[in-house]
Structure 1
Amino acid sequence: MELRWEGEPSLSTALEKLRIQAQVTPPPQWVRIVGGWSEFQFSERRMPTIQEINAAAPETPVFILHLYGRAMLNRAALQVLGITSKTSNPPGGVIERDSAGQPTGMLIAKPSALILYSTLAQGPALSKEHQYNSSRQFMRELNRLGVTSVIDAGGGGQQFPDDYDVINQLHANNELTVRIAYNLFAQKKGEELNDYQNWVEYLNYGDGDDMLRLNGAGENLAWSAADFENFLEPRPDLPVIMESELEDIVSLLVSKRWPFRIHATYDETISRFLNVFEKVDRETPFNGLRFIIDHAETISEHNIARVKALGGGIAVQHRMAFQGEYFIDRYGKDAAKQTPPISKMLEMGVPVGAGTDATRVASYNPWVALYWMVSGNTIGHTQLYDEANLLDRETALYLWTKGSSWFSGEEEVKGSIAPEAYADFAVLSDDFFKMEEAQIPSINSVMTVVGGSIVHGSGDFSSFNPPLPPAMPDWSPVNQFNLPSSGTSKNERPRQFSTHSCCDSACSVHGHNHVIAWQTPLPIDDKSKSAFWGAIGCSCFSI
């Protein structure tokens, strides 16, 4: 139900998409533009004005999220939400007002993004039927990009178990097309410990199966530990109560052998978290229990070493690709050169995995993230890193495959070509290792396989694309526009095999063009012929 501005080259075309979508979106629904864009991607290199948004959508409510710092509402949305000159600012947020005291439509996180996310949550929800359809559409979009597995680090507003009904139903109906390892995220301030005490009593780490399984706790363990990643504002200082609240929760999780992850942007925050973890470890040893520092943009060498000593890992995402310009404005170019210090993390031997942190701010497209890792550029083409913090393509892809498998405890079955590993792979539209760097974001998959079954096919493999119902509701932006993350690939023919995105060697039997074998008349059952592990299955193993 979201309109995406990912990849839009100009503000004028983005606003035209908004105008078209507003005309087909029926009351009481909103047009939502949530994540995947930055004004620096536009040729105009500026934000839309409230006046431009009102002109594009004079009657349909519009919510536009800008990074972690701002949201823009048009006049119709202000009216629906009842935001007036008398509306008070919420804690940690500001409603911008004009000289007459009237709200302009700009909401500002100072520094808390809760004002943004709580406003977004007030929009009309889709019916369960439409949520089910929408989830299938999004998984297919991920498959189109070559994604076969995801780790869900939780998110604000996602109540367990109620908000997991749709994904559980998809799983029960055998309609999941990506493997999901999910973490449980404490939702209500002041009740985080109660939530985890309740969950650990009736849930165990690893509950589920290889398609849908519980991956532990996080990324929010305690609201007092939230260091908001808003580079438009100064670094927040966490309250003094944070340590005691976090200690109680981490002690519980360690005693119950629940892996956990925690959101941490700044080194100052990470220092305080590690103080708590080391104290807990002295009383209840971690003993190999996996824990994860999420993001870690400004982590120091000293704290990388402390994470490693405790047996933890660091999950990095391409948030700097979207707000690197703002980081430079506040902290300077030199500080940005090691934000995050991925090369140093690898040099020091700590487990590192790569992801997107999608979809509220960053793009869900893995190839945009991979472009950032190897080029050091933001999506606005600002150079962030020098050679010391750039990754070669093989290393970057490793972090997206084998590297990330550690973070769901699935190193034995994901991220490598090996016996007993999952039969998950993608045939890519271009050769990631040889193509021009600037074209990397345009990569997509022409065939994606999960568990030996084809879940997406295009180009030469279109005949194998499984049927998918039309997007619902009929006014969905998916029905109005091309897929947002698609780019014009220079070569639509399959050239590269990928485990969750890659494979280093060609199949000696089929040359990785299995369609030739599948379409050859042979005296075997058709179902067995087309199955990856069937009578003419490939000798390649992948995640």
Structure 2
Amino acid sequence: MKYKILLDNFFDGYEFKKGLFSMEINEGKIESVNEINKINTYESTSPEILDLRGKIITPGIIDSHNHFTMTALKMKYQIDLGKARSISDIINTIKKNSNKMHKGWILGYNLNEFQLKEKRMPDINDLDKLNLKIPVFITHFSEHYAICNSEAIHIGNIDKMSNPSGGIIGRDASGNINGILYEPSAMDLIKSKIPEYSIYEYEEAISYASEQYLKSGITAVKDIGGTGKDIDEELRIEALNEVDKNGELKIKVGISIPVFSFNDAYDKLKLSDKINNSDNLKFTGFKMFLDGSGLSRNAWMNEVWNKNYIEVDKNNYGHPLWDIDEFKKTLRYLSQADNTISIHAIGDRAIKETINSIIDIKKTSNTKANYAIVHCTSPSQEDLLNMKLNNISVETQGAFIYFFGNEYIANFGKSREHRLFPFREMFDMGINMCNGSDSPVTLYKPIYGIISSISREMKTSNNKYKKLNPDQSLTLEETLKSFTINCASVMGWYTIGALKVGSKADIVVWNNIPMSFETYSDDFSLINIMIYNGQIYKL
């Protein structure tokens, strides 16, 4: 398929260009981009010409850190509790959707206690009020903790268990299990009992979700897999291979494989060989989780956590999810591969430990690996300098500011608030900052991360937006760069992320890009046309 595009306002992955331009598309690639003086009558009316003058044109959006397959399964087969505003809302939503069962289990996601009027997590007593004789398991929106009913606890047989390494089995003041499980090792005690999805269910969910992502402006994601036993990594790869082969994958997927132990690393290296690299699929490396969540206050910190902004969460410094010696050993082992290793580090102590481990590997080996710190929520200026000097990228999430900014301020406290999400410093220092959603932790739609990175606005109940460290805001051009060419770089996928000769013709045609949530509504039709591999999709 060969055609030309006429455009007068486009971002090429590096900067905005204004004027009159002609872009030629051929066989799914950009064949030429030329500035022209005028348009003749034939060009303005030819069916082989797509006239996009007056629109904002950008490369397809790339999400650098997205649990795509996990999100797909949740969208297709689980109950979304994101709109609940009270515990009774949660109970009623589950009742109304109790027919949406997965092989005898009710599964839910997107639970957010911060938006409930009770301002607490529901517990086992709340879920038991459903009077269901089937197990219920609901994950928190952060995917770092979950809640289950007595039936699920019984099936997991965890009543008498002690805390697993790196996890916590929640208990009330009397020592009884409260149904809340913190971090993957504890959640996996129940997840391992949930019947697995079939290969057909994986394929159906992936195909469906890829269409939804494309409609939102996304043309590529780095799918970082699961957080434990929630995803069968071998089935994930098999399903992605099959959906791609059948022509039903509507976005490009960079596959990153999570690693949870040194023994696991050997198996995951072998598993990477099963990925069928193609125009739409690519192996992009590995993911490691060094610490927990800034919402549940178990990310690894130098100083104790706060709560409610000024209170001290006594003796709580968070904790690493790995034995540090095993973490370093595993990171060194994975560094043999010529790919990107992304390390989840939210707390400042976890960030520093990650940087120091990478520096040590670079000093003592000839590694060809690339490295990225995921989230990198509260780095010091020294951390940022060392990241720049050692070519360490950041996979961050601007949308966290909008969705969780108030909760982060409450937990990090007054003395650390100014270090949260220092995007301006990252850009000014020349760090490769990549944006994403971390879906299903936040909504996959990139507009939330785009507006948040520019406006720094935080969601409030009355829609009067406060701003988090507005001096750290980015321009629209910088923000789009963090969602395009920077992400392509961290994924090692050099034919996407830019509108230049030889690049894939993955293009977003915007009616408008809002710069503030005050001028945005979910009802707005922001995108007019999507072009993927040269194929035109009118929305």
Q: Normalized against structure 2, the TM-score is what?
A: 0.71
1:293 to 357, 373, 376: 373
- 1:305 aligns to 2:385 (yes or no): yes
CA–CA separation in structure 1 for the residues paired with 2:97 and 2:202: 19
Compared CA separation, residues 50 and 281, structure 1 to 2 (3 A): closer
Compared CA separation, residues 162 and 400, structure 1 to 2 (3 A): same
* Deviation (angstroms), 1:69: 5.2
Matches within 5 A, 1:53-452: 53-56=127-130, 58-66=132-140, 67=142, 70-84=145-159, 86-97=160-171, 102-104=176-178, 106-109=179-182, 112-155=183-226, 156-157=228-229, 158-187=231-260, 189-195=261-267, 198=270, 208-216=277-285, 218-220=286-288, 225-226=290-291, 229=294, 231-233=296-298, 234-238=316-320, 242-243=324-325, 245-286=326-367, 289-317=369-397, 318-319=399-400, 321-359=402-440, 361-380=441-460, 383=466, 385-411=468-494, 413-428=495-510, 431-433=512-514, 437=518, 439=520, 445=527, 447-452=529-534
1:150 is paired with a residue of what secondary structure?
Answer: strand
Compared CA separation, residues 49 and 161, structure 1 to 2 (3 A): closer
Which stretch shifts more, 314-323 or 437-446?
437-446
Checking the alignment, whether the CA contact within 8 Å between 1:371 and 1:437 is kept in structure 2 is no
Checking the alignment, whether the CA contact within 8 Å between 1:371 and 1:441 is kept in structure 2 is no
Residue 532 of structure 1 corresponds to which residue in structure 2?
A: none
Compared CA separation, residues 427 and 121, structure 1 to 2 (3 A): farther
Aligned residue identity for 1:414: I
Compared CA separation, residues 239 and 63, structure 1 to 2 (3 A): closer
Cα-to-partner distance string for 1:370-427 (whole Å, 9 max, x where unaligned)? 333233244446735132122333432331122222211234x322322222122234
2:197 is paired with a residue of what secondary structure?
Answer: coil
Checking the alignment, whether the CA contact within 8 Å between 1:425 and 1:450 is kept in structure 2 is yes
CA–CA separation in structure 1 for the residues paired with 2:85 and 2:279: 39
CA–CA separation in structure 1 for the residues paired with 2:119 and 2:454: 23
Cα-to-partner distance string for 1:50-109 (whole Å, 9 max, x where unaligned)? 55544456344322222355422234433444454x4544344444445776533x3142
Cα-to-partner distance string for 1:200-241 (whole Å, 9 max, x where unaligned)? 8x58xx97122001112x211xx7x44555543434344995
Compared CA separation, residues 159 and 64, structure 1 to 2 (3 A): closer
Which stretch shifts more, 129-138 or 255-264?
255-264
Cα-to-partner distance string for 1:25-48 (whole Å, 9 max, x where unaligned)? 35743222223x533345676555
Compared CA separation, residues 446 and 40, structure 1 to 2 (3 A): farther
* Deviation (angstroms), 1:119: 2.3
CA–CA separation in structure 1 for the residues paired with 2:101 and 2:514: 46
Compared CA separation, residues 452 and 121, structure 1 to 2 (3 A): farther
Q: Normalized against structure 1, the TM-score is what?
A: 0.70
* Deviation (angstroms), 1:284: 2.6
Aligned residue identity for 1:300: S
Compared CA separation, residues 309 and 230, structure 1 to 2 (3 A): same
Structure 2 regions of 5+ residues with no counterpart? 1-76, 299-315
Aligned residues: CA RMSD = 3.4
- 1:20 aligns to 2:96 (yes or no): yes
Checking the alignment, whether the CA contact within 8 Å between 2:295 and 2:408 is kept in structure 1 is no
1:171 is paired with a residue of what secondary structure?
Answer: helix
* Deviation (angstroms), 1:178: 1.0
1:419 is paired with a residue of what secondary structure?
Answer: coil
Checking the alignment, whether the CA contact within 8 Å between 2:346 and 2:376 is kept in structure 1 is yes
Residue 104 of structure 2 corresponds to which residue in structure 1?
A: 29
Cα-to-partner distance string for 1:434-468 (whole Å, 9 max, x where unaligned)? 675352555564543321225x65xxx4xxxxxxx
Q: State the percentage of identical aligned residues.
A: 20
Compared CA separation, residues 138 and 56, structure 1 to 2 (3 A): farther
CA–CA separation in structure 2 for the residues paired with 1:276 and 1:74: 40
Cα-to-partner distance string for 1:353-372 (whole Å, 9 max, x where unaligned)? 1011122x333232233333
Aligned residue identity for 1:214: F
Compared CA separation, residues 231 and 25, structure 1 to 2 (3 A): closer
Which stretch shifts more, 333-342 or 169-178?
333-342
Cα-to-partner distance string for 1:295-350 (whole Å, 9 max, x where unaligned)? 11111121212112122211102445444444333321452333121111011111
* Deviation (angstroms), 1:253: 4.4
Checking the alignment, whether the CA contact within 8 Å between 1:186 and 1:195 is kept in structure 2 is no
Compared CA separation, residues 119 and 393, structure 1 to 2 (3 A): farther
Larger strand proportion, structure 1 or 2?
2
CA–CA separation in structure 2 for the residues paired with 1:120 and 1:426: 38
Structure 1 regions of 5+ residues with no counterpart? 462-543
Compared CA separation, residues 246 and 90, structure 1 to 2 (3 A): closer
